[in-house]
Structure 1
Amino acid sequence: MDYKIAFGIKNNRSRQLFKRMPTGQADSQHESGRSELFAIFRSMISNNQIDTKNKLEKGMKFKISRFKEQIKRTKPHKHDDYYELILLSEGEGFHSIETEKFVVSPPECYFLKPGQLHFWEFTSIPKGFVVLFKEEEFDDLRESELKTIYRKLASSSRFSIPSGDFPEPILNELLHEYQRNTAYSHQIIHGLLAALFGKLLAFSDSQLPRQNTVPAIFERFRQLLPEETPRLHKVREFASLLNTSPQNLNAICRKQANRSASELISAQLLLEAKRYILHTDNTIAEIAELLSFSDASNFVKFFKKAEGKTPVQFRKQYFQ
């Protein structure tokens, strides 16, 4: 089964426009190029919402496939309630995750959490594997090591793999067992995943931040943030969902993240705002409504306080 990607536009003109125009060209040409770039980018996205993909069919908790070997620009999109592990052995281009843009430099691994927005801009044929899985895939395990390992891996969006150590044998075995789908494939896949995650953790150990044991209430708060932030803005609202007090939630957040619960909520709200500003053509008033602000002016004040510029200025600057 090939990894299906929702492709956007493909033409040389668009590729050229995504590069900065040479210094010295006439201002009118520069403005024209920027306008055309903006139009092309808008043609790649939904009119008023960000696409959410679900590549796991109903009832599926795991899937592995080879990365589609084509030079394509994908539309900005999010994934449903599953993790996506992308291991590239070849390819060149860029991979944007939220507002961070990575240069594709195989061999490397990308770890996408549920709800993260991303898209690809390849300039050469990519090769590799894509592993999709839901957290409940590991709920029936007696040991929690596998879940602990992938949570450590998920603390970083990208890490490199040492040259010559790309885990292709394990990935080929995983793909073979997934396609065979025998009575014992589930157990074999768990074993192979444990080997794969362990190997990746060994590769990434020096690149990932050290973490202490995370309290369950903070882990749940982090899960709720992307789910509830567009609707909820206040610490007391999240505290109520977690059956704790705002004071206790703030104390836990400060201990675990060096930031208050309010600061973490604002950071998530800002991330959601940037998604809509950069990856949809919604007006500022429409974005304010989508993010549950009382009016556009309050949204603009919130955004400017955080970014030092208005949403309109932020959108315009991104496409310069």
Structure 2
Amino acid sequence: MSAQLAHSAEPIPRYWLYGEPPAVPELRFVHIETIPERMRLYNWEVRPHRHDGLSHALLVTGGGGWLTADGVETAFRAPALIVVPAQVVHGFRFDAGTDGHVLTMSEGFLAGVLAAAPEAELREAPPLPLAWDLEEGSDEAAALSHAFAAIRGEFRAHHVGRASAISAHVMLLLVAVARLKAGRRDGAGRDGPGQSPDLRLLARLRPMIDERFSQHWPVERYAAALGVTPGRLNAACRRVTGLSTLQLVHARLMLEAKRSLIYTSHGMAEIGYALGFEDPAYFSRFFTKREGRSPQAFRRAHAGDGHEATGAAGGSLDGNGLDRTGGVSPQ
């Protein structure tokens, strides 16, 4: 039975990469492939689905199609940039023969790269889906094309400094996206695809979670700060991501816990306290329930992966989500 059929019973299908069974991504997962490599297998259509903790960036260099996000369809034509944040339910209909690249990054990898940026504008990952047509031959199109090509080149090669090079090129990609976004905001262009009230509400919630997750705010407090009822907030979160508000908060706690376990030498109690857990045993139970192994076991499994000093993805990514063979899929 195909992965697509096996998971079709879910209200919102979940995948690893599209068409592959869902899995929890490693903290520093990165993958890049061309649009035709996967879309030819699915008749150029990606039905609405979500990924757990994975964000997409697509550069469409030929053809076009439609992006669906939260039930809103937006057309795009090459050259075009598309960004889909983690957990957002999305789908695509590509014109046959559409070309370009699909970059997929875990929230952990993206957070690590963003943490190394001194500019606040870069440290904020896009909270909403974007689908922007670019001007053929423009500086912004050239910068994006260079960044995607460089990431793919490093991904397929196995040169010294591969992980650092990929992180650096992703940073340049984020700079290009931030400049493009700033230009669209200052000019007459619209800011991304049609945005539903649910998407706009989630875009306000995400930075609030980033700021308050360690304070363990109840859902009611997030809702009050946003000026909506808890039921309205939960409904928006579930429609856009398939997850409740509390599940989004817990996912953010888990991301920070994993980063601390890999990139620092802090003890379990110290990490738990920093994340707002007064009882180290409760932190251990919280982590184990969601990860399937204890914090200590997680740290042992990732021993040697971390680079505490840089905050970015350091060391070799081989065996931690980055495809060893440079092939189509990490599976």
Q: TM-score, normalized by length of structure 1?
A: 0.53
Matched residue, 1:188: 165
| Contact map agreement 1:87 1:110 (CA 8 A) in 2 | yes
AA partner of residue 53 (structure 1): Y
| Contact map agreement 1:82 1:113 (CA 8 A) in 2 | yes
- Give CA deviations for 1:166-211 in whole Å, capped at 9, x if unaligned: 22222211111111133311111121111111112212224356xx
Q: Give, in angstroms, the shift of residue 164 of structure 1.
A: 1.5
Q: Give, in angstroms, the shift of residue 97 of structure 1.
A: 1.9
**Secondary structure of the equivalent of 2:179?**
helix
| Contact map agreement 1:162 1:203 (CA 8 A) in 2 | no
Q: Which has the higher contact order (CA 8 A, sep 6+)?
A: 2
Unmatched runs of 5 consecutive residues or more in structure 2:
18-22, 186-190, 192-203, 243-331
Matched residue, 2:209: 219
**Secondary structure of the equivalent of 2:92?**
strand
- Give CA deviations for 1:125-155 in whole Å, capped at 9, x if unaligned: 1111111111221555662448852634343
AA partner of residue 237 (structure 2): Q
In structure 1, C-alpha distance between the alignment counterparts of 2:170 and 2:101, rounded to whole Å: 13
- Which of 32, 53, 63 pairs up with 1:81? 53
Q: Does 2:234 align with 1:265?
A: yes
Q: Does 2:137 align with 1:164?
A: yes
Unmatched runs of 5 consecutive residues or more in structure 1:
1-5, 9-42, 224-240, 274-320
In structure 1, C-alpha distance between the alignment counterparts of 2:95 and 2:3, rounded to whole Å: 14
Matched residue, 1:249: 222
Q: Does 2:27 align with 1:50?
A: no
Q: Does 2:79 align with 1:107?
A: yes
| Contact map agreement 1:86 1:130 (CA 8 A) in 2 | yes
- Give CA deviations for 1:11-43 in whole Å, capped at 9, x if unaligned: xxxxxxxxxxxxxxxxxxxxxxxxxxxxxxxx9
Q: CA RMSD in A?
A: 3.9
| Contact map agreement 2:70 2:88 (CA 8 A) in 1 | yes
Q: Percent identity, aligned pairs only?
A: 12
CA distance 1:178–1:271, shift in 2 (3 Å)? closer
Larger radius of gyration between Structure 1 and Structure 2:
1
Matched residue, 1:121: 93
Matched residue, 2:182: 205
AA partner of residue 119 (structure 1): G
Map 1:54-73 onto structure 2 (within 5 A).
54-55=16-17, 59=26, 61-68=29-36, 70=40, 72-73=44-45
Q: How many residues align?
A: 210
Q: TM-score, normalized by length of structure 2?
A: 0.52
In structure 1, C-alpha distance between the alignment counterparts of 2:241 and 2:129, rounded to whole Å: 19
Matched residue, 1:151: 124
